[in-house]
Amino acid sequence: MDKMVKKMKGLWEKKYSSFQGMLMDSGESKEDILLHKVLFTIISLAIAIAGLLFLVNLVLIFITDKAGAFGDFFGGILNPILTFFTLFGLIVTIVIQRKEFRLARFEYEKTADALGTTAIETTFFNILDLHHNLVSNLKLDMKELSNKTKAERIFTEIAETFFQRTMGNALLDKDEIVEGREVFETIIKFLTSNSESAENSLERYKFIQNNLNHILGHYFRNLYQALKIINNYDDNKLSEADKRKYTSILRAQLSTKELAILFLNCIEGVSDNGEFKNLLIRYEMLEHLPIQAVEGGYKLAGSEKPLANDEMFLQYQKEKVFDKIDLSKHFGGAFGKNKNVPYKLNRPSQEV
């Protein structure tokens, strides 16, 4: 008896494995597995009962005269049994369709993820192409630095001294255009020529930033937007590791001279309130900037004299924390948060 029970149990488990393999996939939950077991148990009992009744009916046909009555009874319960099998088949069909829908959804999610990754990569490498184009098209007209104006007499005297020392007097008598990455090297030489301190070099850069922004302004705006786009992706679309991968690729495009100017550009009070600098800190964009400690400060990227001091370096140690509510007033409109536009303007009076 025990052998027969074990044999029946083994047969049941074997058939259940086949049944479960037909319905189950890798994403099944515990509830799905339990549902499969209940369905298989019900169909097994239904088949066993139907088979038993059929055998009983056959035996009674041959050994008794009550086969007809039992046949009527069997016929009476046969229709409900067949109805049950039909219902069960419908349930199994629903379960199979559910599995197919789950697989289809999984494939759709994979396709969507692949398309999302492709879109991110396309955007990123388009930004890289734009960056290279901007670098190639950079132009510095040295006459812009050497021409005197009433407002910058003292400053331009320094510029003239720089060009006389480094380029010769003839440079002041003709137009000279510096292009491409050479612009950064020329600006660094200009900032350090006869400079008394890192603070003095920074003031010279502020002059360029405020009065000659057309030279490097678009370059740094594009670089800031590139970092901002990468940083603003949701973590479910672009993981932190992938963000660092892309920013590392972007960092690799910058020369050491570019990194030195980038360092000065993001000092507090030069270009923005610190949003750009926070991204440089978060993604370690200045990691490959050559730094040499000397008397009076630090040389950057092989500059002749110090371009930085301790206070400047301390600004790059931690990200700046901003107030969640911006209380500063802006003119708005097409000017956004441009603080140079007066917040209140007098409207011209209209004649009645």
Residues 307 and 191 sit within 8 Å (Cβ to Cβ): yes
The predicted pLDDT at position 1 comes to: 55
Amino acid making up residue 218 = H
Residues 193 and 291 reside in one and the same domain? yes
Distance of alpha carbon 289 from alpha carbon 56, whole angstroms: 92
Residues 91 and 141 reside in one and the same domain? no
Could you tell me if residue 126 is inside a domain?
Answer: no
Distance of alpha carbon 228 from alpha carbon 16, whole angstroms: 55
The predicted pLDDT at position 90 comes to: 73
Could you tell me if residue 221 is inside a domain?
Answer: yes
Could you tell me if residue 157 is inside a domain?
Answer: yes
What is the residue whose two structure tokens read 């890798």?
26
Distance of alpha carbon 181 from alpha carbon 173, whole angstroms: 24
Residues 230 and 82 reside in one and the same domain? no
The predicted pLDDT at position 170 comes to: 45
Percent pLDDT > 90 in the chain is: 38
Residues 176 and 289 reside in one and the same domain? yes
The predicted pLDDT at position 93 comes to: 74
Could you tell me if residue 123 is inside a domain?
Answer: no
Alpha helices (H) along the chain: 2-23, 30-63, 67-136, 142-146, 153-166, 182-192, 198-211, 213-232, 240-252, 256-265, 275-282, 310-314
Short-list 325, 315, 251, CA closest to 289: 251
300-328 pLDDT per residue, tens: 999 999 999 999 999 999 998 877 665 56
227-232 long-range contacts, CB within 8 A, separation 24+: 227/276, 227/279, 227/280, 227/283, 227/285, 228/275, 228/279, 229/123, 229/124, 229/127, 230/124, 230/283, 231/279, 231/282, 231/283
Residues 16 and 30 sit within 8 Å (Cβ to Cβ): no
Distance of alpha carbon 260 from alpha carbon 300, whole angstroms: 6
Could you tell me if residue 142 is inside a domain?
Answer: yes
Could you tell me if residue 327 is inside a domain?
Answer: no
Residues 310 and 176 reside in one and the same domain? yes
Distance of alpha carbon 220 from alpha carbon 258, whole angstroms: 10
DSSP 347: P
Short-list 257, 176, 253, CA closest to 216: 257
Domain range spanning residue 225? 137-321
What is the residue whose two structure tokens read 């993981």?
239
197-223 pLDDT per residue, tens: 999 999 999 999 998 999 999 999 999
Q: Which two tokens stand for residue 125?
A: 């490498």
Residues 88 and 141 reside in one and the same domain? no
Q: Which two tokens stand for residue 263?
A: 């360092």
Domains in the chain, number = 2
Amino acid making up residue 173 = D
Residues 46 and 92 reside in one and the same domain? yes
Looking at 80-89, 130-139, 276-285, which range is the least confident one?
80-89
The torsion defined by the Cα of 196, 295, 202 and 227, in degrees rounded to 10, comes to 160
60-95 pLDDT per residue, tens: 666 665 555 555 655 666 666 667 667 666 766 776
Give the residue, 143 or 347, on which the prediction is more confident. 143
Give the residue, 281 or 163, on which the prediction is more confident. 281
What is the residue whose two structure tokens read 């169909």?
43
Could you tell me if residue 326 is inside a domain?
Answer: no
**Three-state SS at 39:** helix
Residues 198 and 295 reside in one and the same domain? yes
Beta bridge partners of 205: none
Looking at 71-80, 97-106, 124-133, 304-313, which range is the least confident one?
71-80
- What's this model's pTM, rounded to 2 decimal places? 0.63
151-182 pLDDT per residue, tens: 454 555 566 666 666 555 544 444 578 999 99
Last residue of a domain, one of 52, 79, 112: 112
Residues 153 and 80 reside in one and the same domain? no
Residues 55 and 143 reside in one and the same domain? no
Residues 118 and 126 sit within 8 Å (Cβ to Cβ): no
Residues 92 and 164 reside in one and the same domain? no
Dihedral angle sign, alpha carbons of residues 84, 87, 93, 97: negative
Could you tell me if residue 117 is inside a domain?
Answer: no
Amino acid making up residue 207 = F
Please compute the mean of the pLDDT values over residues 257-280 and round it to a whole number: 94
Short-list 274, 294, 276, 295, CA closest to 285: 276
Residues 92 and 143 reside in one and the same domain? no
Short-list 189, 185, 182, CA closest to 135: 182
